[in-house]
Amino acid sequence: MTRADVWVRGEDAAARYLKKRRYKILARNVRCGRNEIDIIARTGDTVVFVEVRTRMQEDGILPEDTVTATKQAHLRAAARWYLARNQEPDTYYRFDVVAIILPPQGNPRITHYESAF
């Protein structure tokens, strides 16, 4: 499986996970200037910018540990870019991380960190 295959499987799993929890997926893989937001979703009166991190089980690194301060800054910049073009009054915003581990067999292990940063 290529790295791109892992990312696609992870993002698909994250979108399914969020939909099951009644999030409305507004957009996926949104280019915002030089940055990208994996998933933009809505839950209630909150727009959620979701960073999806996927690893293979044998990687030995937790996916959530790869969301560095630099990555957080890029996501904040992307969100500012998006909000400048898609403002919604009376709406809250937050950043979540969905961490996924894809085992060789079976279902992915998904951990959702609301308001991660």
pLDDT digits (tens, 9 = 90+) for 65-75: 999 999 999 99
Work out the percent of the chain whose per-residue pLDDT is above 90: 78
Q: Which regions of the chain does DSSP assign to beta strands (E)?
A: 24-32, 35-43, 46-56, 92-102, 109-113
pLDDT at 104: 83
Q: What's the pTM value of the predicted model, to 2 decimals?
A: 0.93
Q: How far apart are CA 1 and CA 108, in angstroms?
A: 15
Task: Compute the average pLDDT of residues 7-31.
Answer: 96
The CA-based dihedral angle spanning residues 41, 42, 47, 50, taken in that order and rounded to the nearest 10 degrees: -30
- Residue 28's contacts (CB-CB under 8 Å, 6 or more residues apart) are 11, 15, 38, 39, 40
Task: Compute the average pLDDT of residues 45-67.
Answer: 91
Task: Compute the average pLDDT of residues 84-90.
Answer: 86
pLDDT band at 115 (very low <50, low <70, confident <90, very high): very high
Tokens 């009644």 appear where?
Answer: 22
pLDDT at 57 over 80: no
Three-state SS at 64 = helix
Q: How far apart are CA 80 and CA 43, in angstroms?
A: 19
Q: Is 3-113 in CATH node 3.40.1350.10?
A: yes
Task: Compute the average pLDDT of residues 62-91.
Answer: 93
Task: Compute the average pLDDT of residues 6-34.
Answer: 95
Domain ranges of the chain: 3-113
pLDDT at 113: 98
